[in-house]
Structure 1
Amino acid sequence: MREKGWIKFISGLLVILVTFLLGGCAATNQNQQQAADEQKPQLIFADPQWDSVEFNNAVAQYIIENGYGYPTDTTSGSTAITFEGLVNGDIDIYMEVWTDNLQPKYGEDVKSGAIQELGVNFSDNAQGLYVPTYLINGDPARGIEPLAPDLKSVQDLPKYQQLFQDPEDPSKGRIFGSPAGWEVDKILQAKIKNYELDKNYNYFSPGSDTALATSITKAYEEGTPWLGYYWTPTWIMGKYDMTLLQDTPYSEELWDGGYRCAFPSMNITIAVNKNVPQKAPDVAEFLKNYQTNSELLSSALAYMQKNDVKVDQAAIWFLKNNEDTWTKWVPGDIAQKVKATLK
């Protein structure tokens, strides 16, 4: 009996010891993982201040923070300033590089190795001069007659300067351009001058993306004329019926000779500073897989506008409702971590 009791005592002691050791190992592993997460470098995203890039930032930041354990932040500024920040290392990640608007600098910086292009975010985009479709076709439901039924192209615009009258200079029409500081602003001003539209129109630079969108919203709700620059994907194009004016078909020769043709549809890429693949290799792999499209982005942006939610809330809505899309970007264990935070 004493021998059996002694064996039971030793067995119980071993069970306690093994349990203690396993618990200690688990705690150690957990502490090591926590320490590793705390040591991960902060990743800075570029915010050139248009809505689709801010949405893409929010989605990527949520996945990186909750799935990979890296802290993130954003740096705001013009396209030129934020892109220069990417090159010199003040910014790590640029979720939407409108490549053709930044040539030849973009190509030179990729070639030099200062930045790395990880992939194409989306390529089904359009940009140029738009008008509300009701100006061309009318809108019987709203009692709007077609005021410019023959307006089809940019080349037709000299005939319609009075329709788009500039309230500050009635002798000319007004073309709404892009916000000052955007790289496309230089392109638009050059196009208008080279097309000699400056003889008939004043170029008006709104103060921000919001101001430009507000000018469209106001005109559309009032059923009045509006002419200006816009692009896809945006919530504006998801909500309103707008017509892109035709232009001379794109050719490299005409574009390089003063932007005398339509904007090319371009690859909107994801680029990172040269150091990111070394300091956050798992994030670099994730960004290589990150891919959206204009329809998906316009839907998310329209959700933001319709429900008056901030971009962070829209990112969570997107992640909850588009699992089949974003889970393809990450390994299974990362997807599970992200999903756990969405419940």
Structure 2
Amino acid sequence: MDISLMRLKPVILLLMVVGLFALTIACGDAKEIIKEKIVEKVVEVEKIVPGPTQIVEKIVPGPTQIIEKIVPGPTQIIEKIVQVAPPEKEKRELVFAGLSWDSAMDQNGVARYIVEHGYGYPTSHIEGDTVPLFQGLREGSIDITMEIWLPNQNAAWEDAIAMGQVIGVGKSLEDNWQNSFLIPGYLADAHPGLVHVDDLKKDEYKSLFTAADSGGKAVLVGCLVGWACLGVQQGVTDDDGNVVGVGQIEAYGLSDHVFLQIPGSFGALNATIEGAYTKENAILHYYWGPTALAHKLDMRPLEQPAPASCPDEDPVHGCGWGPASILIAINPVVAVDAPELIPFLANWDWNAGNQLAAEGWRTDNKEALENAGASSEEIYSATGVWYLKNHEVWKEWIPAEVVAKVEAALAKED
């Protein structure tokens, strides 16, 4: 029995070795299987890929998988890389200066329609006069002013430019004329000796313009409160009370001969002037052109000292106005928030033909629009729509894609 066991011992050892070998192989296979199972379970692995926008897709169980890129490795990562433009920033409302005269509001009607429908910015306006609205432009409550009149606003403009509070971006109206001492043509023809402002010191001419409450002085129908031209007529002081300029009336020695009458509104100014001309009454008044009213009436200026006789040709020191330079201005924030508008405003060209056409249509249609319940703002907006539909020059101010958007909007207008 012992001899038999001794003979079987080598066989038993051999079987043990074989068993261990088989077990080793089996264990190795088990490890491989485990690895495969681990790979199957690893799904959510992401990889950062340079670019402004990254979209990473992962393996998701399902009947169909789209593989865009396979990255070699012990674990497969399937990813889809797509680059898209960053989202367009929200466009804020832009506020226009609602100046209290027709040419500025006609321009607003056209410009606001292009800005809204061509460039996608909502717009509004704040109504007011030159001085407060220019202060609003400096402080940022106003974004865009379509008419800055120089030299009327010289002092305030130069100060604002020096402080970086405003930017001039283009030309508004073509050079305009303005005059504080205009008389009707029929009156000039009847009194050929009335040719110079100094003649208003003579009783025979001064008496033509007196009124019951003027104290024997000639009434001058002047500019409105809030208009820079009023300062030119009656004088300007700075914030510290220092005299910037004495004004035309005092500089001409007319303080004892001329009574400055300040109209309550632009409409009142126009009505006073047109009423006098219609009745062929004597009137001494301020106005400017080219405008529809100046084009309609025969306004003749009295002679005044030449602009060159004043420091910086500023009439506040006692001389006549030279040709007015009229600018478009923005608050500097607009250059950051809406930079694409700057080339548009720089290309703007509102010449006399454009203005007279717009004024003519508005004058002819104003009563009907008012009777239909239209507000003043809506009337100027309607004027803008009419102008854009019936003129082509504006298309030269803006890119073709913006023109297309404006035209698409106009096609929907009644």
| Structure 1 residue runs of 4 or more that deviate by more than 6 Å after TM superposition | none
Of 178, 186, 192, 2:231 maps to 186
TM-score, scaled to structure 2: 0.68
- 1:233 positional shift: 3.0
The match for 1:277 is 335
Contact 1:119 1:289 in 2 (8 A): yes
The match for 2:97 is 46
The match for 1:161 is 206
SS in 1 for 2:217: strand
The match for 1:246 is 303
CA deviation map 1:62-86 (0-9, x unaligned): 1111111100000122212111111
- 1:210 positional shift: 0.9
CA deviation map 1:240-270 (0-9, x unaligned): 1211222211124285585211112121000
- 1:91 positional shift: 0.7
Query: Quick check: 1:236 aligned with 2:293?
Result: yes
Of 80, 86, 108, 1:57 maps to 108
- 1:198 positional shift: 2.2
TM-score, scaled to structure 1: 0.82
The match for 1:133 is 185
The match for 2:194 is 151
Of 307, 310, 321, 2:390 maps to 321
Structure with the higher fraction of residues in helix conformation: 1
The match for 2:268 is 211
Contact 1:131 1:227 in 2 (8 A): yes
Q: Separation in 2 of the partners of 1:317 and 1:151?
A: 43
Q: Separation in 2 of the partners of 1:49 and 1:302?
A: 18
Amino acid at match of 2:96: F
- 1:156 positional shift: 2.4
CA deviation map 1:186-228 (0-9, x unaligned): 1111211221222122110011111100101111111111111
Query: Quick check: 1:300 aligned with 2:358?
Result: yes
Contact 2:231 2:316 in 1 (8 A): no
Q: Separation in 2 of the partners of 1:197 and 1:306?
A: 40
Amino acid at match of 1:108: D
- 1:46 positional shift: 0.8
Contact 1:51 1:301 in 2 (8 A): yes
* Structure index of larger Rg: 2
Gaps of 5+ in 2: 1-83, 235-246, 370-378
Evaluate the alpha carbon distance shift between residue 337 and residue 95 of structure 1 in structure 2; reply closer, same or farther with a 3 A threshold: same
Between Structure 1 and Structure 2, how many residues are aligned? 301
Higher relative contact order (CA 8 A, sep 6+): 1
CA deviation map 1:113-160 (0-9, x unaligned): 2111101113420111211112123xxxxxxxx2x2232232322231
Q: Separation in 1 of the partners of 2:278 and 2:92?
A: 47
- 1:100 positional shift: 1.5
Q: How many percent of aligned residue pairs carry the same amino acid?
A: 34
Contact 1:154 1:246 in 2 (8 A): yes
Q: Separation in 2 of the partners of 1:166 and 1:214?
A: 17
